[in-house]
Amino acid sequence: MYARILVPVDGSPTSEAGLAEAICLAGLSGGRIRLMHLVDELPYIPEAATYGVLVPDPARPARERGAALLDRWGARVAQAGVEVDTMLLEGIGGRLVEFVNGQVEAWKADVIVLGTHGRRGLGRTLLGSDAEQIARHATVPVLLVRRHAKAAAKGELPIARTAEGTAS
């Protein structure tokens, strides 16, 4: 049922919790995972202009960090025995939901799995929520994985279940 699992990642512990659940889902369904990371170049443009010099590629460090993240986490997925590919996307000021929906369509994803902080009330209103936007505008099912507060305080990931049902 979930042969193609799209997992937007940003390197945060919350994102890592989403990845752990996606690996579990892929193991249970025999699916494959596409890891997706977005480098928004807009924040780097004003920074380069501030110095009054032409910076040939101000977003290069962010792009390199994103590629390294995809390599590390892609290796983790492969080590779990799940087929994986990665996609580093670049944009200028676009919303994450637009890039995710573009990947859903281009790759024919069956489900999106991502971590969420689970903010409510004023925190969500002030900070916004990429996860909420993705869930509202997705054309495929979305699995939101909320990191438990106790585990987050200890720096732990949620327990991932393997296809055999044992904890890992």
Residue 3 lies inside a defined structural domain of this protein:
no
Residue 92 lies inside a defined structural domain of this protein:
yes
114: domain CATH number? 3.40.50.620
Burial letters 24-42, b for 16+ CB under 10 A, else e: bbbbebebbbbbbbbbbbe
Residue 4 lies inside a defined structural domain of this protein:
no
**What residue ranges in the chain does DSSP mark as E strands?**
4-8, 32-40, 84-91, 111-116, 142-146
Among residues 21, 20, 1, 34, the alpha carbon closest in space to that of 143 is found at 21
Q: In which domain, by residue range, is 54 found?
A: 9-154
> What's the pLDDT tens digit per position in 83-112?
999 999 988 767 899 999 999 999 999 999
Residue 141 lies inside a defined structural domain of this protein:
yes
Residue 112 lies inside a defined structural domain of this protein:
yes
What sign has the CA pseudo-torsion 88, 91, 95, 100? negative
Average pLDDT over residues 153-166: 45
Total domains present in the chain: 1
Residue 159 lies inside a defined structural domain of this protein:
no
What is the rounded distance in angstroms from the CA atom of residue 147 to the CA atom of residue 163? 21
Residue 166 lies inside a defined structural domain of this protein:
no
Residue 60 lies inside a defined structural domain of this protein:
yes
pTM score:
0.79
pLDDT at res. 60: 84
Highest mean pLDDT among 33-37, 47-51, 153-157: 33-37
